[in-house]
Amino acid sequence: MIKQVCSRHFEDKTLHNYVTRHGELGECDYCNDGKERKVVDISDLGEFMQDCLFQVYDDAANWLPYDSREGGYQGVTYETRELIEEYLDGDIDENVFTDLNYEIDDVAWCDYDPYGERHDELLMQDWENFKTMIQHKQRFTIFQPKPIKPGRLKFSAADILTELGKMILRFQMTKTISAGTIVYRCRQHEKDNITKASEMCSPSNEHAVYPNRMSPAGVSMFYGSLNQNTSALETINKLLASKPYYSIAAFALKEDILVVDFSQLPKRPSIFNPHQFSKFHWVRFLENFVEDLSRKIKKDDKIEHVEYAPTQAVTEYIRFMLKTKGKDQITGMIYPSSKDASQNCLVLFYNHEESLEKLRFLPRRLLTTKI
C-alpha cells in the first residue's frame, strides 16, 4: 500500500507547497493521528523530486565509464540520499526521508554531461576571461563598439560587467544604510600622534599611491567596516616594524546612502522548484564570483596592481554605470572580508574631501594602540 504524506513533514517550502497544491483530503500515514489533511502519494512526490534532480544530474551509467577493478564509475558520483540532503531546505521526518529515498531510482548519479560545462561554470569561465583581459590585454577600451570576445565564450569583458549589473538589480542586492550609522576605519602609522579626522579619513589623491582591492593607485576611497574588529583585521600588518601603531576611528554617516551588498547573496533557489530553476545557475555563479572577489591577494608591489585590476573594473562599473530603478547614486559596496569571510568590509566612493564632508568624525571614539 502506497503511503500518504502531508505538508507538515516538510520545512522545505517548495515541497510543502507541492503537497498543498496537489494534495487531496486524506489521512497522513506519518502523522497517524486519524485527522484529515491534504496528502499526496509518497511515490508521486518521489517521482516529482526525481524529475527535478534530472535537471542537473543524470544516471552515471549514461555518461561515465565503469571499471570494477578501479572501484566502479570513473568520475564523481552521488548517492540519492546525498543529493536529497544537499538540496532539501530544513529538516525532514526521518521516516519520510527513508521512504522518499526508496521511491527515487536507486542509481549512482553524476552531473548531467560531466564532460561538458554547466551554465554557472561557463559564466565563471567568462569571469576568468574577463580577469585575463583586464589584467593583461584590454583595460580602458572594453566598451568599444566591437569588443574582443575570444574563443567560444558567451560574453566579452564589457558583457560580463553588464550581466553582473543585471544580476545585482534582479536579485535586489542594493541596500540603504541609514544616516547616523557608524563606520570604522583603521590606519597603521609611525607615531602615536593621530588626532584629526583628516588623518583618518580617505587619503588625499597625492597620498593614494598604492592600489587597493577596489581602487587603483591615484583614486582615493574610504575603506572601512561596520565593526572595529574587522577594520583592524583588514589593516594591521605586524611585520611592518616601521609603523608600530594603529588607530581606529569612528565616523557617522550624515545621510542615507545606497550600496551594493555582496555579503547578502540571494538564496540559491530550490532544485525542487522548476519555476525558479532559471535562477539556479546565476546564483551559483554569484557565490563563486563573491568568493573570488574577496580572496586573499599577496602583498607584492610588483603584481598587486595587476591582481586588483578586475575588482577595480567591477567597482568602477558599479560606481559610474550601474543605474538603479530609482536612478539613485550607488555610494559604496559591502563585501566579505578576505581575512574572515564571516565578517564584512565596506568601501565608500568618497575621496579625502568627500569623506570629510559626508562623514561626521567622532573624536571621543578614536582609539590608538601599539601593536
Per-residue CA distances from 190 to 194, 231, 237, 369 (Å): 10, 18, 13, 11
| 218 φψ region: left (φ > 0), alpha (ψ -120 to 50), beta (else) | left
Half-sphere exposure of 291 (CA within 13 A, CB side): 7
138 touches 157 (CB < 8 A): yes
Looking at residue 295, its amino acid is R
* pLDDT at 318 (0 to 100): 95
pLDDT tens digits, one per residue of 321-363: 998 877 788 999 999 999 998 999 999 999 999 999 999 999 9
pLDDT tens digits, one per residue of 211-243: 899 999 999 999 999 999 999 999 999 988 999
| Average confidence score pLDDT of the chain | 87
pLDDT tens digits, one per residue of 195-211: 999 999 999 999 998 88
Degrees to nearest 5, angle at CA 75 with 70 and 76: 120
Instruction: Select the more confidently predicted residue: 159 or 65.
Output: 65
Find the farthest-apart pair of alpha carbons in the chain and give their distance in angstroms, rounded: 81
- 152 pLDDT more than 50: no
Going from N- to C-terminal start, the domains of the chain cover: 4-111, 174-370
Q: Tell me which of 22-26, 101-105, 249-253 is least confident.
A: 101-105
Degrees to nearest 5, angle at CA 301 with 296 and 303: 65
pLDDT band at 305 (very low <50, low <70, confident <90, very high): low
pLDDT tens digits, one per residue of 267-295: 877 888 877 777 877 888 888 888 888 88
What's the rounded Cα separation, in Å, for the pair 64 and 59?
Answer: 9
Q: Are strands 66-67 and 72-73 parallel, antiparallel or unpaired?
A: antiparallel
- 150 pLDDT more than 50: no
When computed from its CA atoms, the radius of gyration of the chain, rounded to whole angstroms, is 26
All three cell numbers of 178:
541609514
What's the rounded Cα separation, in Å, for the pair 258 and 237?
Answer: 31
Q: Are strands 330-336 and 344-348 parallel, antiparallel or unpaired?
A: antiparallel
